[in-house]
């Protein structure tokens, strides 16, 4: 069997690694891949936004199933294109991907279907947005409507900060077209949690929970990033809370979207008034995938075929009870300016440690050596009998790996340790 995975992050390395466990695999391609996927798959030099190039490749190579990692090709309609030609692909159509690619669309959808979320006001002109800010209480949240790789959300403590965000998005145009519409939101308080489900157009199967760490520095300080680490334990939400999320958020979403197929990822705020949806992603989270997939005992490829062939309902997913944690090793300037091309050493020893898996993110392989090629360089993942053990193992492995400018957060999972296990 030939499988194509689209993307180049730690998420895609974890997906390719899980798919590689399937005994029927003949060949895995990753487009464009990274230094880690190169060792278990064939990297194909086609970027994730080159939807036509990916389609031609899949047809030419007679790929049996394509899996889409990132959001951009989904929003560009890669699933629609493949399906029109009868090629098997897992992911939502561009119309369903709007739940992620347009915040205004998503919020109107929540309102229409009474899905609990923060109050919101969409604006198509800066003047109207400023005028609304005059009557608001702070903090408030200013969001660019379109895809912005995590840079489109500003939690504004003051009116001035909110005005500056509106100016950046709508007048200066820092995010291009993504910022021509802005959504202003009520600020919610509570604990955040990531809840992902597999969906096949009708049935949905929830995954184990995860929590990520978006801020750059310890203590949740500093700028937002793509994610500095994550952990997965079963006590992030109680069984009753999980059922409440399925009942009030996930099921009404899937019922009202038209044949949503692929991965639906809910970013939740557990407020005093129950769970509310902050945002949907219509694909696996990064780095949540790196802690969730190592706990999946069921063969991932079987699940992906269940989705593509609409028979997820009868699948019984099995999960490992052991917690997992992942630490992002980043280049020191991240998320700002960074230097690439630093040689990475110590990977072999780190990989040999009990329970440890290293997923590459921004790396490239050259003559058997690994070099940095991005802000988030590696995801050091470990499992353990307890979350403490998983974190100890991951941090010990982080120490074994070296590259110039290596940095990471030292407090990943601390909130999880405070929960009973």
Among 67-75, 182-190, 257-265, 364-372, the segment contacting ligand AMP (CB under 6 A)? 182-190
State the burial class of residue 302 (Cβ atoms within 10 Å of its Cβ: 0-12, 13-18, 19+): exposed
As a whole number of angstroms, the distance between CA 158 and CA 351 comes to 46
Residues 381-407: b if buried by 16+ CB within 10 A, e if exposed: bbbbeebebbbebbbebbebbebeebe
Q: How far is CA 353 from the centre of its chain?
A: 26
Q: Which is nearer to ligand AMP, 156 or 401 (CB)?
A: 156
Q: Which of 118, 330, 377, 380 binds ligand AMP (CB under 6 A)?
A: 118
Among 122-130, 185-193, 234-242, 247-255, the segment contacting ligand AMP (CB under 6 A)? 185-193
User: In this structure, what token pair is assigned to residue 126?
Assistant: 């800066």
Q: Which of 187, 319, 371, 395 binds ligand AMP (CB under 6 A)?
A: 187
Counts for the chain of helices (H) and strands (E), in that order: 15, 24
Q: Which is nearer to ligand AMP, 35 or 92 (CB)?
A: 92
Q: Which of 44, 155, 400, 417 binds ligand AMP (CB under 6 A)?
A: 155
Q: How far is CA 122 from the centre of its chain?
A: 25
Regarding 25 and contact with ligand AMP (CB under 6 A), the answer is: no
* Shortest Å, Cβ 194 to ligand AMP: 9
Q: Which of 141, 254, 350, 394 binds ligand AMP (CB under 6 A)?
A: 141
* Shortest Å, Cβ 227 to ligand AMP: 10
Number of residues that bind ligand AMP (CB under 6 A): 12
Q: How far is CA 281 from the centre of its chain?
A: 7
* Shortest Å, Cβ 9 to ligand AMP: 17
* Shortest Å, Cβ 75 to ligand AMP: 15
Strands 65-68 and 182-186, bridge-based pairing: unpaired
As a whole number of angstroms, the distance between CA 91 and CA 308 comes to 9
DSSP structural state of residue 33: -
Q: Which of 267, 274, 346, 405 binds ligand AMP (CB under 6 A)?
A: 267
Q: Which of 49, 192, 218, 407 binds ligand AMP (CB under 6 A)?
A: 192
Q: Which is nearer to ligand AMP, 198 or 265 (CB)?
A: 265
As a whole number of angstroms, the distance between CA 217 and CA 409 comes to 6
Interaction with ligand AMP in 268-297: which residues (CB under 6 A)?
Answer: 278-279
Q: Which of 3, 63, 153, 401 binds ligand AMP (CB under 6 A)?
A: 153
As a whole number of angstroms, the distance between CA 91 and CA 241 comes to 27
Q: Which is nearer to ligand AMP, 267 or 346 (CB)?
A: 267
**Distance set, CA 197 to CA 42, 69, 241, 266, 383 (Å):** 28, 15, 15, 8, 21
Among 71-79, 186-194, 233-241, 323-331, the segment contacting ligand AMP (CB under 6 A)? 186-194
* Shortest Å, Cβ 117 to ligand AMP: 8
Beta strands in 218-347 (DSSP E): 221-224, 229-232, 261-271, 274-281, 324-331, 343-344
Interaction with ligand AMP in 193-222: which residues (CB under 6 A)?
Answer: 214
Is 170 within 8 Å of 129 (Cβ atoms)?
yes
Among 48-56, 80-88, 187-195, 379-387, the segment contacting ligand AMP (CB under 6 A)? 187-195
> Residues interacting with ligand AMP, by CB under 6 A?
118, 141, 153, 155, 185, 187-188, 192, 214, 267, 278-279
């Amino acid at each position: 069997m030939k499988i194509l995975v689209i993307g180049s992050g730690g998420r895609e390395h974890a997906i390719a690694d899980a798919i590689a466990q399937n005994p029927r695999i003949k060949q895995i391609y990753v487009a464009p891949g990274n230094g880690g996927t190169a060792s278990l798959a064939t990297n194909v030099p086609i970027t994730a936004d080159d939807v036509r190039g990916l389609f031609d490749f899949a047809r030419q190579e007679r790929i049996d199933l394509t899996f889409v990692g990132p959001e951009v090709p989904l929003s560009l309609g890669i699933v629609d294109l493949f399906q029109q030609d009868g090629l098997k692909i897992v992911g939502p159509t561009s119309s369903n991907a709007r739940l992620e690619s347009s915040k205004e669309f998503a919020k109107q959808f929540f309102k229409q279907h009474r899905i609990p979320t923060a109050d919101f006001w969409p604006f198509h002109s800066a003047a109207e947005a400023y005028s609304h800010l005059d009557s608001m209480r702070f903090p408030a949240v200013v969001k660019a409507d379109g895809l912005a790789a995590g840079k489109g959300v500003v939690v504004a403590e003051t009116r001035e900060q909110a005005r500056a965000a509106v100016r950046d998005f709508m007048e200066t145009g820092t995010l291009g077209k993504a910022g021509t519409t802005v959504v202003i939101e009520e600020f919610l308080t509570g604990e955040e949690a990531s809840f992902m489900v597999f969906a096949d157009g009708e049935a949905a199967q929830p995954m184990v929970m995860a929590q990520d760490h978006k801020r750059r520095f310890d203590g949740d300080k500093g700028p937002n990033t793509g994610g500095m680490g994550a952990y997965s334990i079963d006590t992030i939400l109680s069984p009753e809370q999980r059922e409440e999320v399925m009942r009030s958020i996930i099921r009404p979403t899937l019922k009202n979207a038209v044949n949503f197929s692929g991965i639906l990822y809910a970013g939740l705020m557990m407020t005093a008034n129950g769970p509310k949806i902050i945002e949907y992603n219509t694909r696996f989270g990064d780095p949540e995938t790196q802690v969730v997939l190592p706990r999946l005992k069921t063969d991932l490829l079987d699940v992906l075929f269940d989705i593509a062939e609409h028979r997820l309902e009868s699948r019984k997913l099995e999960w490992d009870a052991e917690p997992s944690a992942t630490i992002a090793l980043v280049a020191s300037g991240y998320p700002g300016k960074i230097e690439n091309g630093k040689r990475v050493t110590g990977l072999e020893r780190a990989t040999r440690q009990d329970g440890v898996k290293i997923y590459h993110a921004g790396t490239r392989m050259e003559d058997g050596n690994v070099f940095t090629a991005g802000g988030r360089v590696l995801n050091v993942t470990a499992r353990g009998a307890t979350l403490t053990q998983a974190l100890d193992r991951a941090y010990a492995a982080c120490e074994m790996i070296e590259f110039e400018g290596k940095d990471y957060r030292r407090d990943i999972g601390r909130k999880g340790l405070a929960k009973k296990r």
